[in-house]
Every structure is written in C-alpha cells, then in structure tokens.
A = this chain, B = another copy of it.
C-alpha cells in the first residue's frame, strides 16, 4: 500500500515537502508526473524518463482501455511490465477525456455513455467499471470516475457534477479490491468558493488516502485558480497527499506548491518540447526563431540533460527544420529534466524554510506567460 510522509512544511508559506512510498518505489514531493497517455511518455524510453529525474508517471485509463485494451495489458502482466516502467504509476479515471469528447455522450447518475473515438462503438463507463479496469492495469495510485466541467460552469451544473463526483468516488471505492493500489478522491466543485469548500469538506470526511483537485486551470482567471486552490487545500487533511490535476505550467506549479499541493501532472513539457519549445529559467525558448539559427550555446547553461550536454541550439533548430525525430526527443527530455529540477529545487527550499524568497526570485526570472 501507498504511504505518505509529510517531512516538512515551509515555516512561512506552508509549502510541503514529503515522500510517497508505493509498491513500486518512492516519490519525493513536490513531484511532477510526466504523462504517458498511451503507455509511453511521448518520444522517450522509460530509462530516459527516469534519468531525467521523474519518479512517477501518469497513464490514461481512457486511452489504454480503447487501445490496446485493458485485457491485453493484464495478460502482459500489467501496465508496469507492458510499458517497461518499473517505478510508480498513477492512472487517471478517464473522466476528463470523456467529458472532453465533442459529441455523443450521456451522463446519468449511473455513469457515462459515449462512442469510441477509435472505432465508434458505444461504451458505458460506471465508477465500478473504471475501478475494475484500473485494477487490471495495476497502477500504484488510481483515480475514481469524476464529472469534469469547463469554465465557466453554471451553479446547478456544478452542484450536480459535485454530487455525482462524491457518489462515484464512494462507488469506485466500494468496488475496489486490489490491496496494492491506492484510490484517491477527486475534489471538483466548479468555480464557486462555497461549493469548492463543501466539496473539500465532504471528500475529506470520507477519508481517502489522497486527494486530487480537478477542474482548475481550465481557463478561469489565475487569481481565481489560486483562491479556489487555497480554499480546498486548507480543508484537506494534512497527512494526505494533494494532487493538482493537469497542471504543468512552471509558475502555476510554484503557486500551487505555495498553497500546499504535493503532486502535478501535465502533457505540457513533452507537448511543447515536441514542437521545439524548451522550458528554461528565463521562460520558454522557441527553437524555430531565427535568432537560434547559428547559436552554438546549449538550451540552458548548467542543465545536465543529454540535450544540453551534447548539442547546440543551432543543431537542435536544424533537427526541427529538417523534420528529424531527434529534435522532439531531445527537447522533451530537456523539458522533463527542467520540471524534475524545478520540483527538486522547491523541495530543497521548503526543507530549508526559504520557499518564499526562492519562489519570488524564480517567478521574477521566468518571463514568458506560460
């Protein structure tokens, strides 16, 4: 079973440093989880992801269920063996993907119905079925089916989404039999402070081993994100990990850690990396810009990643101009290394009670918007 140890909270901000022990190894928190949608972190091997400093990866139940199917992964010995990643894995529930489908979905108290975007057949998902699929996949941490809303969401819709999310978390847990896995709760509640607070209180009372916060950073103003997040984490038990879903913009990650979040996942570092955008302490660096055409410096001075140790910006830019796969590989690797170093630096600052000063300096230097 997973165990979370809160090692220290920064004296001034309350930002947390901890450790998550899972059946497949430990994760130091704050932690950033690279996303391996189809059971592969895009363009990278598990060894590269690990060497970049990632200690846990996320895989998407929704995508894997559709292709290649949970049954095959179960026969292969579970997702760890199938994808050759032997560290901790977290699987989401598919809720976010289902509620992002453009058409053909029906939501009832029972669950959701949608058409497979791959071969068109009708698929029914209930909280119980999601739990069963996640048990077959065998991740260390799993998420229950939840109802995800976009921004803005009206009060009645947010209320209903919250009610179903709470009921589904309980049903998902009731169906859960795999002792080696930890099923987190997901706190929804839209963009109303009081509903978010109630959602946090109700989930906290149900005593889950960990708490995700969903439905934030989906287009609402940044100050609202911060306020709602603060309201939620203030109500969650101190001794359980908090996971802010789908967030990987460096400044937002820092602001969330300041508000007591321990875990993050996002496709951003690998997605922008595949497009030749590198994350650096000064913000985003776009390799296609002509300024880098003859720049023989590395992406980031002092970065220990393979891209920075072996290659110049001019060479990396050449790879993107020529459509060569090594470009997306190397910049994805750099960006994951950047995120791992960022959470590591936050952890060090927290353990030494200097998170406030550290974050002020880092945020001032990070110049681009996202």
Instruction: Give residues in A with beta carbon < 8 Å to B.
Output: 38-40, 42-46, 63, 67-68, 72, 75-76, 82-84, 293-294, 296, 306, 310-312, 314-315, 317-319, 321-322, 324-326, 328-330
Contacts and interface: CB of A to CB of B under 8 A. Distances in A.
Contacts of A311: 84
A329 B83 CA distance: 15
Contacts of A318: 38-39, 67-68, 72
Nearest to A318: B68
A306 B47 CA distance: 10
Given A306-B45, A310-B84, A67 B322 contact: yes
B67 A324 contact: no
Given A314-B68, A315-B83, A40 B321 contact: no
A332 B317 CA distance: 23
A203 B95 CA distance: 70
A22 to B, nearest CB: 21
B68 A321 contact: yes
Contact of A45 (B38, B293, B321, B326): B326
A150 B91 CA distance: 55
A236 B68 CA distance: 55
A307 to B, nearest CB: 10
A363 to B, nearest CB: 33
Contacts of A72: 293-294, 314, 318
Contact of A75 (B39, B296, B317, B328): B296
A63 B322 CA distance: 10
